[in-house]
Amino acid sequence: MRRAVIVGAGMGGLATAARLAKAGYEVLVFEARDQIGGRLGELRRDGYRFDTGPTLLMMLEPLERLFKDLHRRLEDYLDLVLVDPSYRVYFGDGTVFDSSPNIAHMVREIAHKISPTEVPGYLRLMADLSAMYHAVIPAFVRKQYYSLADLFTPYQISLLVRHRLLAKLWRRIPRYVRDPRLQMLFSFQTMYLGLSPKDALWVYGVLTYMESGEGVWYPRGGMHRIPQAIAQIAQEEGARIYLNHRVSAVLVEGERAVGIRLATGEVVRADVVVINVDAPTAYRELLPPTPYARRAFRNSCSALMFYIGYTEPLPHQLHHNVYFSRDFEQNLHELFAQNRVPSDPSFYTCLSNRTDPTDAPAGCENLYVLVPVPNLTGEDARVAAPCVLETVIERVGLKRERMQFVETLTPHDWQALGLWQGAAFGIAHTFFQSTAFRPSVQTPFRNCYLVGASTQPGNGIPMTLISAELVAERVLGKEGRKA
Ligand SMILES: Cc1cc2nc3c(=O)[nH]c(=O)nc-3n(C[C@H](O)[C@H](O)[C@H](O)COP(=O)(O)OP(=O)(O)OC[C@H]3O[C@@H](n4cnc5c(N)ncnc54)[C@H](O)[C@@H]3O)c2cc1C
């Protein structure tokens, strides 16, 4: 039996483990922390439960394909519900808007809260983004890149031109909707990748479509149920997962990976090594020196998190809520151009107990707050955290005496998870760090692969699942077997 060692039990690592175990490999997963899931972690305190990172499950297809490939029924492991409205938006001018994947609801909301004249533009936008999404995902995203030539086939060039993929998102959105609030609403999704909507290419409008077209989903029991379910299947297929086992090096002989060394000094030999650690960290700290270790990656921004046990209902909040800065353009400038903690930041809140009442004690709320802030190359978010919390308290209308506790997570904590420069969303999705330019799933060493958000195709749960598909295909293709 051939042995695969996986370094890290994040989404990419676990999905690869399940695929390789299903294909007959002996799979050993070594995870540095005391829980699986990586960024998709869980925090429990005083009767409250919080997902620590991702809260929005979009683009279900890669998850569904994973279960299908593993010969499992998704509904036996996960109870997925569509969250509708997707989220409530608080604009800086006081407008409160409920965003929905239901076109009828959205049309009414736009007509009543913004203007009926904007409705045709919204419908055109969704139609164009939908066409782009269905062309781009198979042609550029779920694709093995062996060389740059794979990026410039005649078909792909025709898509670049037809859908104007390289135009600027910020410039094109106003061609559909004129109201600045709608322009913000249909472009801020790039911040899920830690990317400013002002810098993003039009192709990243696929994120807007994922959310507004396909909807935001939630697994009952919490987002952390997703890695738990995948880990369960991996274990049913024979994989073994070792928590509190930090890997200190990948061992290479000649040009070939032959195993790993644990922080304890123990050596584990393997036929295949798959690294689920952030790519810059993997190249700098785990692999022998290569030019990749010197590559100056541009990193995404980071996230300042507050997990608040709140002892009174917040009836105006939905499961997901977005608060736009009172000056969104200034917010983007401070965050992305000046690398500063914004003076009046936009932020996002999540109350999963709206869908899972047991996530908070009766009459209480598990309030999760995510504030985009600079990574460790910029202003120190630890220093700014009290001031940012004040803004959150003021805008959400919180009462201090009802805040039973506030747990804080800063870019330094994301760095401790292996994320280079504490960039919570990994390396940025610039043009030269996307598609074929993004670090390949194949490292320069034979039998050694990268999986996860900082490799191809990119950041987010669906992308890390696709990255696991790409790795499994390469490993198994070489062996002549299929998951
Ligand atoms: C705050 C936040 C909110 C987000 N929201 C969303 C969202 O709503 N929807 C969405 O789709 N995506 C979201 N994302 C992105 C999503 O979390 C990531 O794309 C995805 O979880 C990354 O998975 P990964 O496979 O790269 O592994 P990671 O989650 O990065 O896990 C890597 C694992 O490797 C382990 N490790 C590191 N070094 C070592 C070592 N030396 N030895 C052993 N183990 C090691 C780490 O402990 C960790 O468990 C969010 C991210 C953040 C930070």
- Measured in Å, residue 226 CA sits from the centre of ligand 1 at 13
Q: Does any domain span residue 74?
A: no
**For atom 13 of ligand 1, which residue has the closest CA?**
54
Q: Which of 218, 241, 267 is the last residue of a domain?
A: 218
- Residue 303 has which token pair? 């996230």
Q: Is 247 in the pocket of ligand 1 (CB under 6 A)?
A: yes
Q: C-alpha angle 397/222/461, rounded to 5°?
A: 100
pLDDT at site 480? 45
Q: Is 422 in the pocket of ligand 1 (CB under 6 A)?
A: no
Same domain, 136 and 34: no
- Measured in Å, residue 192 CA sits from the centre of ligand 1 at 13
- Residue 208 has which token pair? 């807007």
Q: Does any domain span residue 231?
A: yes
Q: Which of 187, 218, 249 is the last residue of a domain?
A: 218
pLDDT at site 479? 44
Same domain, 92 and 154: yes
Same domain, 339 and 386: yes
Q: Is 464 in the pocket of ligand 1 (CB under 6 A)?
A: yes
Same domain, 274 and 127: no
Neighbouring residues of 318: CB distance < 8 A, sequence distance ≥ 6: 85, 87, 88, 98, 351, 354
pLDDT at site 17? 98
Written as one letter, the residue type at 150 is D
Number of domains in the chain: 3
Residue 274 to residue 12: CA distance in whole angstroms? 10
Q: Is 17 in the pocket of ligand 1 (CB under 6 A)?
A: no
Q: Does any domain span residue 75?
A: no
Q: Is 33 in the pocket of ligand 1 (CB under 6 A)?
A: yes
* Residue range 20-77, pLDDT digits in tens: 999 999 999 999 999 999 999 999 999 999 999 999 999 999 999 999 999 999 999 9
pLDDT at site 478? 54
Q: What's the domain range around 461? A: 3-40+223-297+431-479
Q: Tokens 């504490």 belong to which residue?
A: 422
- Give the global pTM: 0.96
pLDDT at site 483? 43
Tell me the HSE value of 478 on the side-chain side, using a 13 A CA sphere.
14
Q: Is 455 in the pocket of ligand 1 (CB under 6 A)?
A: no
Same domain, 182 and 237: no
- Nearest ligand 1 atom, CA 11: 25
Q: Is 319 in the pocket of ligand 1 (CB under 6 A)?
A: no
pLDDT at site 482? 44
Given a contact cutoff of 8 angstroms between Cβ atoms, the answer to whether 372 and 300 are in contact is no
Residue among 217, 206, 151 at smallest CA distance from 463: 206
Q: Does any domain span residue 67?
A: no
What per-residue string of b and e applies to 414-428 under the rule 16 or more CB within 10 Å gives b? bbebbbbbbbbbbbb
What is the distance in angstroms between the CA of the first residue and the CA of the last residue of the chain? 15
Given a contact cutoff of 8 angstroms between Cβ atoms, the answer to whether 476 and 451 are in contact is no
Same domain, 231 and 120: no
- Nearest ligand 1 atom, CA 33: 47
**Cis-peptide into 85, omega within 30 deg:** yes
User: Containing H/E element for 214?
Assistant: helix 205-214
Same domain, 96 and 199: yes
Q: Is 370 in the pocket of ligand 1 (CB under 6 A)?
A: yes
**For atom 5 of ligand 1, which residue has the closest CA?**
54
Q: What is the CATH number of the domain that holds 286?
A: 3.50.50.60
pLDDT per position in the chain (483 positions), as tens? 899 999 999 999 999 999 999 999 999 999 999 999 999 999 999 999 999 999 999 999 999 999 999 999 999 999 999 999 999 999 999 999 999 999 999 999 999 999 999 999 999 999 999 999 999 999 999 999 998 889 989 999 999 999 999 999 999 999 999 999 999 999 999 988 888 999 999 999 999 999 999 999 999 999 999 999 999 999 999 999 999 999 999 999 999 999 999 999 999 999 999 999 999 999 999 999 999 998 889 899 999 999 999 999 999 999 999 999 999 999 999 999 999 999 999 999 999 999 999 999 999 999 999 999 999 999 999 999 999 999 999 999 999 999 999 999 999 999 999 999 999 999 999 888 999 999 999 999 999 999 999 999 999 999 999 999 999 999 998 544 444
Strand 87-90 and strand 320-323: the pairing is: parallel
Q: Which of 161, 189, 218 is the last residue of a domain?
A: 218
Residue among 100, 113, 90, 165 at smallest CA distance from 349: 90
- Nearest ligand 1 atom, CA 15: 25
